[in-house]
Amino acid sequence: MSKRDFLSTADLSRRELDDLLELAARIKGKRPGQVLSGKSLGMLFFQPSLRTRVSFETAMVQLGGHCINLSSNDLYELEPQEQAVMDGRAEEHVMDAARTLSRYVDALGVRAAARVGTWEFDRQELLLRSYARYASVPVINLETNMGHPCQALADALTMRENLVSLKGRKLTLLWCNHPEPKSLGPTHSILEVAAMMGMDVTLAHPLGFEVDAEVLERSKTLARDNGGALQVVNDKDTAARGAEVLYARSWGCIKHWDDDEREAMVKRSLQDWKVDEALMAKTKDALLMHPLPVRRNVAATDGVLDGPRSVIYEQAANRTHVQKALLMQLLK
């Protein structure tokens, strides 16, 4: 059988998404046995990780397998371009690393979300896609600047647990201020998954913080095809009204993607773009979601993060369960 990668939420059909979430819900709180006994997952982290690393390792251990974790300190500088003349900093080509690692492990996870060029360059996910091309084992996206599909699976499971049916439910995906430039990965992935689930999605951000145009158009099509809707607004108060889920997340400015100082200047006037008690009061008693880590009292206040409608830790906990389901489908 040919291998199956999980690089993007766009890799899933609606049927496959439903099956993954149903499996995750069934095995949550249970130990499904040593179904992955003897299996190994290699995880390559080119950026820091807390929830992704620990939740995947926990998932593999509970399924009877084990993980090998490598950070940027353990890895050579890699060259992803084909037919490159490697006379620069890169010590090894991705094809050699991927083909070698495929002899050691049964699946590979890759986190590669650094800003290394323009948006047009970074959106290509060259490192992740190169690993997927050359590895003979399944490759899982652990976050890039374009997507964080495992986070979106946990988000969907969390919303289903609290709202049961998601079709027609109102989700507001709200940009929040952050002192550092952030990836668009979690934003893109939850946007696509919510659209696929037929939700009524409002994407709210200041002018200049638009998401990738291709992702936006695909999400609009997914929403329409699944009985939902997607609108974009540039006013946070308008976006919050009537929301049943308020999903807070910061993401970077595509226009100034390769100019951190310019992006920081733009954000100086956007400090009121945060979730506080007054904004939550405009919602329809909404669930508060955030993928973490969160800058407290910058992106959202302590009062709402620790309030009764916050499900941020449920989101984090559900990472383990959806990843068990994903690993079982890719490796069993």
Residues 290 and 160 occupy one common structural domain = yes
Q: State how many domains the chain has.
A: 2
CATH of the domain at 89: 3.40.50.1370
Give the pLDDT score at 2: 61
Residues 78 and 198 occupy one common structural domain = no
Residues 140 and 235 occupy one common structural domain = no
Residues 195 and 99 occupy one common structural domain = no
Taking a C-beta distance cutoff of 8 angstroms, is the pair 215, 149 a contact? no
* Alpha carbon 70 to chain centroid, angstroms: 20
For residue 46, tell me if it sits in a domain: yes
Residues 37 and 79 occupy one common structural domain = yes
Return the higher-pLDDT residue of 215 and 78.
Answer: 215
**CA 80 to CA 125: how far, in whole Å?**
10
Residues 124 and 56 occupy one common structural domain = yes
- DSSP letters along 300-331, please? B-HHHHTSTTB-HHHHHHHHHHHHHHHHHHHH
Reply yes or no on whether the pLDDT at 321 is more than 70. yes
- For residue 47, the 8-state DSSP code is S
For residue 78, tell me if it sits in a domain: yes
pLDDT above 70 as % of the chain: 99
For residue 327, tell me if it sits in a domain: yes
For residue 3, tell me if it sits in a domain: no
Closest among 248, 244, 250 to 285, alpha carbons compared: 244
Residue 229 CB neighbour total at 10 angstroms? 16
Point out which residues pair with 247 in neighbouring strands: 173, 289
Residue 83 CB neighbour total at 10 angstroms? 5
Give the pLDDT score at 71: 86
Return the higher-pLDDT residue of 29 and 288.
Answer: 288
Please tell me the pTM assigned to this model. 0.96
Reply yes or no on whether the pLDDT at 51 is more than 80. yes
Residues 42 and 173 occupy one common structural domain = no
Residues 17 and 141 occupy one common structural domain = yes
Q: What is the dihedral of CA 184, 188, 191, 197, to 10 degrees?
A: -150
Q: Which domain holds residue 167?
A: 151-315
Reply yes or no on whether the pLDDT at 1 is more than 50. no
Residues 203 and 57 occupy one common structural domain = no
**CA 185 to CA 191: how far, in whole Å?**
10
* Banded pLDDT at 21 (limits 50, 70, 90): very high
For residue 39, tell me if it sits in a domain: yes
For residue 109, tell me if it sits in a domain: yes
For residue 1, tell me if it sits in a domain: no
Rounded mean pLDDT of 83-99? 93
Give the pLDDT score at 160: 97
**CA 189 to CA 151: how far, in whole Å?**
8
Rounded mean pLDDT of 209-231? 98
Give the pLDDT score at 60: 96
Residue carrying the six token digits 């979601």: 289
- Report the mean per-residue pLDDT for the chain: 96
For residue 4, tell me if it sits in a domain: no
Residues 23 and 108 occupy one common structural domain = yes
Rounded mean pLDDT of 282-309? 98
Return the higher-pLDDT residue of 127 and 32.
Answer: 127
Residues 97 and 219 occupy one common structural domain = no
Rounded mean pLDDT of 60-67? 96
Residues 296 and 180 occupy one common structural domain = yes
